[in-house]
Structure 1
Amino acid sequence: MSTFMLIAMVVLFAAGVPIAIAIAAASIGGIAFFTPLPLLVAAQKLMTSIDSFPLMAVPFFILAGNLMEAGGISARLVEFAKTIVGGVRGGLACSCVLTCMIFASVSGSSVATTFAIGAILIPAMARHGYPKSFAAALQATSAELGVIIPPSIPLILYGVSAEVSIGSLFVAGFGPGLLIGGALMIFVYFYCRWNGWGANDHVDRLDLLSAVKQAFLALLMPVIIVGGIYQGVFTPTEASVVAVFYALLLGVFVYRTLGVKEIVGVLRRSVISSTIIMFIIAAAGLFSFLITRAGVPATIGAWLGEMMDSHLTFLLAVNIFLFVVGMFIETSAAIIVLAPILAPVAISFGVDPVHFGLIMVVNLALGMITPPLGVNLFAACQVAGLPLQRVIPKLLPFVLVCLVCLMVITHVPEISIGLLQFF
């Protein structure tokens, strides 16, 4: 049954069938042809897969990200980042990374970060003499931080799937997020100096006091959300609702940039995005139930135990596997299908499940910027108005930087779990 389901799913992917439908169809086929279970089980498992309180955070964080974009919060964060790092050569490009780090600490979504920040900074970088292909590649890569720095939707999904504390995952996400963000800014600084880009980045830059005054309330948003989670004021799910209300408060009553028309558009985009993700989660949950019932996790665990003689070889094999998987399978689906399989195996090799969650999410986040299923890459190309083939050559150096960071995160677990001792 498992072989049939995997082959059917891959064939449907290759035929261009939407991911959620492909996973659901392969699962239903497995039930119909290889099990005595009634098809009613498919409907039941589709519903129970999304019947989870932590999963309620997904649509709310998506809505919060869209409200931030439409309400002008993202624009204020951009101006603040330009003030902080925009005074040096290549500073505008560095501000792209910094803004994405700040925006990621609220939106939880890399695609939302790409559209919200890219719509402002890609044209701005082009006006300052940066190649548009470089700007799009940098934006796609920087937005990857949206799924690493908490609150992160993929971290929530991993926590639910692997039965790991979401709060602990959020704490652990800071180290890898800061490492990747810092590495990208250092690389961008020297890369821009090497190519002679960004000599006029200081133009149109606000003074620090004006930038802080303009962005102060926007900057309070991640402080309230993340601080509230870590202080135990509210859960990650409740934090997503707080984020929505705070974004509405700023957009409607403070900045006065959100009217009825804008809110309707935001709700429409958020419903569509949430529905797609939840459909994928439901289908992947059904798929995961069937392969677990067939004993696949236990078989893979036993095989890995025989083939791998240490946790180092296991981590190397898992990194290669997840990097390839991320190129072809949507992140949410990959986490929900693979986390219940791989997390117990990782624990058997002595790998902390929280640390493994960060390894998994960072790996799959790289899949968001690599063809053929790089959703961040496609979003950045759409914002920049460029074909994919023009952006890929500029993307390769950023992928290499992220891969180096991934190796450090994998083999230095303190980067992920070091902060847990303080919470």
Structure 2
Amino acid sequence: MIIVLLFGLMFFLMALGLPVALSIGLPAIGLIITPGVFPDSVTLAALGQTVVQQLFSGVDSFDLLAVPLFMIAGAIMEVGGISRRLIDFCNSLVGWAPGGLAAAAIGASIIIAGISGSAAADTAAIGAVVIPTMVRQGYPPAFAAAVVAAGGAIGIIIPPSIPMILFGFMTNISTSQLFAGGILVGALLGFSFMAVAVFISWRKGYGERQPFTWKQVAATGRAALWSMGAPVIVLGGILGGIVTVTEGAALAVFYALLVGTVINRELSWRELPRLVIRSQATAGSILFIIAMAKVFGWLLAMQQSAQLLNTFVNSLALPPIGLLLLVMLLLLVIGCVMETTAALLLVVPVLALLTPQMQVDPVQFGVLVVVNLAIGMLTPPVGICLFVSCGIAQVSLGKVSRAIAPLVLVSMVDLVIAALWSPLTMWLPTLLYR
């Protein structure tokens, strides 16, 4: 009964428009201190102390320092000229094809995903540059926004990834292994999005083509060389075991700052305070959600939610693959209606317990969870990538939602492939770490 009431109150407060952190934390704290929920021998002071301890322990982690650091790196990247140079280079490679600029936008998103770890930051960085250009070349604004949103969602699959950092923190699974597991899946999604964008552009006559010349490739490649170095240095350091994830995040900030101010010279020092404040406001909201979710999860654990879930799953008598697909469907639905960080923090501690019954490796399951939530970023009503690209393109959410439907469909096909064919997620982690 307590569990039903807890989730009911949470969704009710979210429906009222209360901030996500408060929607999660207030019902949990309220029920914890409600008489009768815990034995009378447990004093109110002791319960209050427990709440404070859970709030503190929820964010007391060196690994979580990577979250605000990657947010700063993404903010610097957005205004430091990195995205424009990457788009120009990708366009020089594929601009000759139908829908070449759309494919270039997705290609640049894949590269930028290796810097910030944030889908919203990637969408904003690419969209601000490429959407106006795509519209000038004859692409419908809704299609341009859909392509940019789809590319931005890859930002939490290709490492570094803030949701993967959170998943590793909650489950004590190596974040580096999760990063390695996301590389091939992110690449599959990226190339699938490119194929769909090119096909639609060819069929409907969108965009302009530009002649392919090695001279243009060389010129744009030289200009983008420093920008392309960031993913290589940051990911190479993390996956190679040279730096930790948090140290890699600090390295990403330093490198983005170096490229934006010294090399590209498009970022002034006077802009830095504004960028830091904006990025840390977002990071602070994420950490506040994490702290509140810790209290929420503690109350669930005290109500023996894991045992109840295990009993329910056993009663279904599903084969492992059936249970895995059912969990994937549940995550898709949750990703559509709940903010990504909140969804991750609420469902992972419970669903991660089912990996033995699903017969999947915890690393594979972590990657699948993140892919599910990335798809949720492309669907209304809470798809953050959709909202960012809609704002840049000045197009209604309904129009962009219709335009992005083929991209969402192909992403679901890729998700099924990743779920059923484990080497896609496990080959690189096995090669590098086992």
- Unaligned 5+ segments in structure 1 are none
Aligned to 1:284: 293
Distance 1:221 1:374 in 2: 27
Distance 1:118 1:204 in 2: 26
Preserved contact between residue 184 and residue 401 of structure 1 (Cα < 8 Å): yes
Alpha-carbon deviation of 1:261? 2.1
**Alignment partner of 1:421 is 2:408:** no
**Alignment partner of 1:405 is 2:406:** no
**SS across alignment from 1:197:** coil
**Alignment partner of 1:213 is 2:222:** yes
Aligned to 1:306: 315
Alpha-carbon deviation of 1:225? 0.4
Alpha-carbon deviation of 1:366? 1.0
Aligned to 2:304: 295
Aligned to 1:176: 185
Matched ranges for 1:161-310 at <5 A: 161-201=170-210, 207-310=216-319
Aligned to 1:28: 29
Aligned length: 423
**SS across alignment from 1:87:** coil
Dislocated runs of 4+, deviation >3 Å: 199-206
**SS across alignment from 2:33:** helix
What is the CA RMSD across the aligned residues, in angstroms?
1.6
**Alignment partner of 1:318 is 2:319:** no
Q: For 1:61, give the aligned amino acid.
A: F
**SS across alignment from 1:164:** coil
Preserved contact between residue 83 and residue 112 of structure 2 (Cα < 8 Å): yes
Distance 1:84 1:107 in 2: 24
Describe the superposition over 1:17-63 as per-residue Cα deviations: whole angstroms up to 9, x where unpaired: 11111101111112122234522322221111011111111110010
- Unaligned 5+ segments in structure 2 are none
Q: For 2:188, give the aligned amino acid.
A: L
Distance 1:248 1:151 in 2: 17
**SS across alignment from 1:207:** helix
Preserved contact between residue 71 and residue 255 of structure 1 (Cα < 8 Å): yes
Matched ranges for 1:6-155 at <5 A: 6-33=7-34, 34-35=37-38, 36=42, 38-155=47-164
Describe the superposition over 1:175-228 as per-residue Cα deviations: whole angstroms up to 9, x where unpaired: 110111111111111111111112335599970111111011111111000111
Query: Using a 3 Å threshold, how does the CA distance of structure 1 residues 308 and 180 change in structure 2: closer, same or farther?
Result: farther
**SS across alignment from 2:160:** coil
Q: For 1:370, give the aligned amino acid.
A: T
Distance 2:416 2:142 in 1: 27
Alpha-carbon deviation of 1:309? 2.5
Distance 1:178 1:104 in 2: 11
Aligned to 1:366: 375
Q: 1:157 aligns with which of 156, 166, 179?
A: 166
Percent identity reads 37
Distance 1:81 1:265 in 2: 30
Q: For 1:257, give the aligned amino acid.
A: E
Deviates more, 1:219-228 or 1:183-192: 183-192
Distance 1:93 1:60 in 2: 30
